[in-house]
Amino acid sequence: MLSFDLTEDQEILRKSVRDFAEKEVAPVAAKLDEEEKFDLDLVRKMGDMGFFGPFVSEEYGGTNVGYVSYIIIVEELARVDGSTAATVAAGNSLGIGPIFYFGSEDQKRRFLPALCEGKRIAGFGLTEPNAGSDAGGSQTTAAFKDGRWTINGSKIFITNASSDLTSVVTVQTVTGRKPDGRPEYSCFLLPAGTPGFTRKKMTGKLMWRSSDTAELYFEDCRIGEDAMLGSRGAGFHQMLKTLDGGRLSIAAMGLGGAQGAYEAALKYARERKQFGMPICKFQAIAFKLADMAVEIEAARNLLYKACWLKDSGKPFAMEAAMAKLYCSEVFGRVAREAVQIHGGYGLMKEYAVERFFRDQKLLEIGEGTSEVQRIVISRAIGC
């Protein structure tokens, strides 16, 4: 049966997240952005609210409410602040996800409870200085000798990886060569305190300025065999599967951000008067707002369908790419028009649309650029 109704629990969840975002995040978002400060207490509060581990079974500390509910959490946070939403999105899809889906029983019980409670967070080490969209170009290596693995290399632009709350980072490495000469990729769970593992906070960002972004360096990091995530050679498959889920959370950030920018523009257009009337009464402005509303509604339906497919155990990779592509680009169009409606005020930091305008750009780049999403979609349709 086709239904567009959320469950009662999901409606309650949306209200509780929105209340939290407006009371706890909105008052500090601009200041945190200006100071490039990653707020540890805010992360802990979100942990107390159950924002981490929504798709994780209760035996490991999660709430097991499903992907639609998870996306609602990210969407409502992004409606107020992209950096805060990024912390939760990356903490779940990229931090918790690989451990929950591919980890051993011991790894799950070791890391997941604290991650799901928001007492700790985890990172996802894929991107390198010379391996971005070409994820298969990783140069970080892991060599096996005397019963232990030694990791050398570096990663860059890794979310949730340099703070005092970071407990572990999933690291993709090259562990050898396949018979056909191609690299063999394997992933490891590297604890934050491992000797030789250096983490450096990245600053001076255009967007997500209060999100934790890091450069990671591995110099002869020695770890045991039990640190490998899943089986040897399964790393590339694990990364691709992780990115499929991550695209849904990035899409949720696009959807929530677009909703926030639209609401700010609508409020301003109703209050701002020119020529003796609110500017929303002028057709040029009214049509902009109408187009925003249409695209946001279309984006929400596309994203929620993709999440429903995942929750139902159906193939969802193509729909996830579509949702990530469309929601991130809708946010771009909405943010630009929101700034335009604000006029000169839209360029000032005291207005939220200025931050929305900056934060949006990352969504067209992170976790697969818009161009990469189009490659994924074109292959899925048989091109």
- The mean pLDDT values, 10 residues at a time, for the chain of 383 residues are 83 98 97 97 97 97 95 98 98 97 97 97 94 81 95 97 97 94 95 97 96 97 97 93 92 98 98 96 98 98 95 94 98 98 96 97 93 95 93
**329 labelled catalytic:** no
Cα atoms in the 13 Å half-sphere on the side-chain side of 292: 30
Q: What's residue 264's pLDDT?
A: 98
Burial class of residue 16 (count of CB atoms within 10 Å of its CB; 0-12, 13-18, 19+): middle
Tell me if 2 is assigned to some domain. Answer: no
Check 35, 36, 367, 371 and give the catalytic one. Answer: 367
| Same domain, residue pair 196 and 318 | no
Q: What's residue 4's pLDDT?
A: 80
Collapsing DSSP to helix, strand or coil, 262 comes out as helix
Collapsing DSSP to helix, strand or coil, 220 comes out as strand
Tell me if 1 is assigned to some domain. Answer: no
What is d(CA 119, CA 47) in angstroms, rounded to the nearest whole number?
7
| Same domain, residue pair 113 and 129 | no
Q: What's residue 2's pLDDT?
A: 64
Tell me if 317 is assigned to some domain. Answer: yes
Last residue of a domain, one of 183, 206, 233: 233
Length of the chain: 383
Question: What dihedral angle (degrees, nearest 10) is formed by the CA atoms of 329, 313, 115, 195?
Answer: -90
Angle between helices 352-363 and 82-89 (to 10 degrees): 40
Burial class of residue 3 (count of CB atoms within 10 Å of its CB; 0-12, 13-18, 19+): exposed
Q: What's residue 181's pLDDT?
A: 86
What is d(CA 226, CA 48) in angstroms, rounded to the nearest whole number?
30
| Phi, psi (deg, nearest 5) at residue 381 | -90, 5
| Same domain, residue pair 97 and 155 | no
Tell me if 335 is assigned to some domain. Answer: yes
| Same domain, residue pair 127 and 50 | no
Q: What is the token pair recorded at 65?
A: 């409410």
Tell me if 273 is assigned to some domain. Answer: yes
Decide: 173 and 151 in contact? Cβ < 8 Å.
yes
| Same domain, residue pair 333 and 348 | yes
Q: Nearest to residue 254, comparing CAs of 193, 201, 302, 183?
A: 302
Q: What's residue 262's pLDDT?
A: 98
Residues with Cβ within 8 Å of 260's Cβ and at least 6 positions away in sequence, in order, are 78, 79, 80, 352, 356
Cα atoms in the 13 Å half-sphere on the side-chain side of 23: 8
What is d(CA 270, CA 283) in angstroms, rounded to the nearest whole number?
13
What is d(CA 361, CA 85) in angstroms, rounded to the nearest whole number?
15
Q: What's residue 131's pLDDT?
A: 82
Q: What's residue 137's pLDDT?
A: 80
Q: What's residue 356's pLDDT?
A: 98
Collapsing DSSP to helix, strand or coil, 54 comes out as coil
Last residue of a domain, one of 210, 233, 256: 233
Q: Nearest to residue 361, comparing CAs of 160, 209, 137, 133?
A: 209
Decide: 101 and 88 in contact? Cβ < 8 Å.
no
| Same domain, residue pair 78 and 155 | no
**Which structural domain range is residue 255 located in?**
237-380
| Same domain, residue pair 289 and 346 | yes
Q: What is the token pair recorded at 273?
A: 């008067």
